[in-house]
Amino acid sequence: MILVAQKEKGMSENRSEFNGKLCLVTGAGQGIGLACAKSLLAQGARVIACDVTQLALDVFQQSLPKCQQSNTLLIPFDLADSNAIQTACHNLEQDQLIPDYIVTCAGTLQLESVLDLPLEALTKTLDVNLKGTMLLTQQLAKILVKHSKQGAIVAVGSNAADTPRVKMSAYCTSKAGLHMWMQCLGLELAEHGIRCNIVSPGSTRTPMQEQMWNEAYGERETIQGNLASHRMGIPLNKIAETKDITNAIEFLLSDKSGHITMHDLRVDGGATF
């Protein structure tokens, strides 16, 4: 498997620091992951796009300009499947596709009260949001260290990691664990020149957010807050767009944040002040 490294004929010169870099993005089939993968490709990066289904990745690739499609490698795997994660990482190393940047956006959310939370829902949430992301970043970090390659890892967390939410106990718990994992990962990888940071979005216009609006409350209620649900509103009086989150991710990947690691960058419009 080879990703095109050179500039396609007819493409304009791209002076972004991501130009020619290899970036792995999970959750690339929708939401923040999709926006992040597209933004990096537009800046000349080569992207390893990962998602749970081949169909989601095919739709993603078909939506790209032809000049970017050859800079994209699609790898479908389920973060709840540890064997699939290890196989994907092994294959990348064998093909000498060692990422410069890693962005974990994949996640799942199931709304259930703490008294009604099924074990299956709890297990799936922890497997995808926490365990799978831990294993993936661990395996990729091993490869980076083995090949003496510096880089940056950004995990998309949530402002719910330290703010309890009604019917979101499994999600909040998984994100709290992910935050601590990224800080521990960053501490131990610092000596290898690998920075590890977190971007914590609040309410963002994505399919996951729309699912919450359909099942629990709406956009207006999210912005204004709801006392019955113990939710603060959003002081900036708007929902975040995926570009707002992508901008934060790219900052933490870039050399502009070269002295930042183990940091949690909150992008929630002030919702958890």
- Residues serving a catalytic function are 171
Q: What 8-state DSSP symbol labels residue 254?
A: S
**21's tokens:** 């870099």
Amino acid symbol at 170: A
* Residue owning tokens 């002040």: 273
- Distance in angstroms (rounded) separating the CA atoms of residues 125 and 117: 11
- Distance in angstroms (rounded) separating the CA atoms of residues 108 and 241: 19
Amino acid symbol at 221: E
Instruction: Report how far apart the first and last C-alpha atoms of the chain are (Å, whole number).
Output: 46
Alpha helices in the chain (DSSP H): 31-42, 54-62, 66-69, 82-94, 119-126, 133-146, 169-189, 207-215, 219-224, 242-253
**89's tokens:** 């990482």
Amino acid symbol at 71: N
Q: Phi and psi (nearest 5°) for 41? A: -60, -40
